[in-house]
C-alpha cells in the first residue's frame, strides 16, 4: 500500500516538474501561426498527440472532435503531430478527413512531446494552472495494442477535463495510452 502511494506521488511530481519549464514553448500550426499551448495564464489546454500513420488514432478521431466541440469556449484544444515525417500538407489532410476545427500543431522538434511526457498516439494531455493535470488515454476503447473493445466503458479524458473545469482535483492523473509509439522519441 505504501509503495503504491509513493509511486503515485512520484508520478505526480514528475508530471509537475516535467512541464514547468515549457510555459513559453511556441509551436507553429499548419498555417505557420505560433501557439503557446502551455501558457500558464490562459484557459486549460487539451493536447491530442496524434499521427495520420497510426491506425489506432483513426478509431479515436471522432471522439477527439466531439470532446473539443462539447467543451468549446471552456478550454483550448490542439491536435499535435510530433512525428517529424508529418508534413503540414499531410497534417491538414488528416484534419480535413475528420473535420477537425482546432489548431493543428507541428512538433517536429518533439519539444512539446518531451515536456509533457507524451509517448503514444493517440495520447491526451490536460494542462491547467501551470501544471499537467492529466496524461494518458482518451478512454478504454483499446485495452492493449490490438485488443479493441466494441465500445469504450470509461471516459478518462472527459472525467479529467470536467474535474479541471469545475476546479476539482483530477481523480486519476494518468492512464496508459494504447496506440502507436511517437516516432523518434528516446525511450524513457
Say if 119 falls within a structural domain.
yes
Say if 125 falls within a structural domain.
yes
Say if 80 falls within a structural domain.
yes
- What is the pTM for the complete model shown? 0.86
Q: Which residue has the higher pLDDT, 42 or 161?
A: 161
The CATH number of the domain holding residue 122 is 3.40.30.10
Length of the chain measured in residues: 188
Q: What is the spatial distance between Cα 148 and Cα 59, in angstroms, rounded to a whole number?
A: 10
**What pLDDT sits at residue 6?**
37
Residue span of the structural domain in which 172 resides: 2-181
Domain count, the chain: 1
Strands 131-136 and 174-175: parallel
Say if 188 falls within a structural domain.
no
Q: Dihedral sign, CA of 54, 60, 64, 66? A: positive
114 phi, psi to nearest 5 deg: -65, -45
Say if 25 falls within a structural domain.
yes
Say if 187 falls within a structural domain.
no
Contacts of 57 (CB under 8 A, 6+ apart): 50, 51, 121, 122, 179, 180
Q: Minimal CA–CA distance to 111: which of 146, 84, 148?
A: 84
Could you tell me what percent of the chain has a pLDDT over 90?
71
Beta bridge partners of 120: 181
184 phi, psi to nearest 5 deg: 95, -10
Q: What is the spatial distance between Cα 81 and Cα 94, in angstroms, rounded to a whole number?
A: 10
**Residue pLDDT, tens place only, 103-113:** 999 999 999 99
Say if 186 falls within a structural domain.
no
Average pLDDT for residues 15-42, to the nearest whole number? 77
**Residue pLDDT, tens place only, 53-80:** 999 999 999 999 999 999 999 999 999 9
Say if 137 falls within a structural domain.
yes
Amino acid at each position: 500500500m505504501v509503495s503504491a502511494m509513493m509511486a503515485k506521488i512520484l508520478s505526480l511530481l514528475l508530471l509537475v516538474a516535467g512541464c514547468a519549464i515549457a510555459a513559453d514553448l511556441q509551436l507553429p500550426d499548419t498555417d505557420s501561426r505560433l501557439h503557446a499551448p502551455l501558457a500558464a495564464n490562459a484557459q486549460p489546454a487539451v493536447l491530442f498527440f496524434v499521427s495520420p500513420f497510426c491506425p489506432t488514432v483513426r478509431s479515436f478521431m471522432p471522439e477527439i472532435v466531439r470532446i473539443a466541440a462539447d467543451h468549446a469556449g471552456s478550454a483550448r484544444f490542439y491536435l499535435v503531430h510530433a512525428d517529424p515525417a508529418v508534413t503540414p500538407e499531410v497534417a491538414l489532410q488528416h484534419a480535413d478527413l475528420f473535420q477537425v476545427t482546432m489548431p493543428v500543431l507541428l512538433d517536429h522538434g518533439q519539444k512539446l512531446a518531451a515536456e509533457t511526457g507524451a509517448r503514444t498516439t493517440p495520447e491526451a494531455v490536460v494542462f491547467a494552472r501551470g501544471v499537467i493535470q492529466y496524461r494518458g488515454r482518451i478512454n478504454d476503447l483499446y485495452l492493449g495494442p490490438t485488443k479493441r473493445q466494441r465500445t469504450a466503458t470509461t471516459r478518462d479524458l472527459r472525467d479529467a477535463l470536467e474535474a479541471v473545469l469545475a476546479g476539482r482535483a483530477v481523480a486519476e492523473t494518468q492512464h496508459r495510452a494504447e496506440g502507436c509509439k511517437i516516432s523518434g522519441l528516446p525511450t524513457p
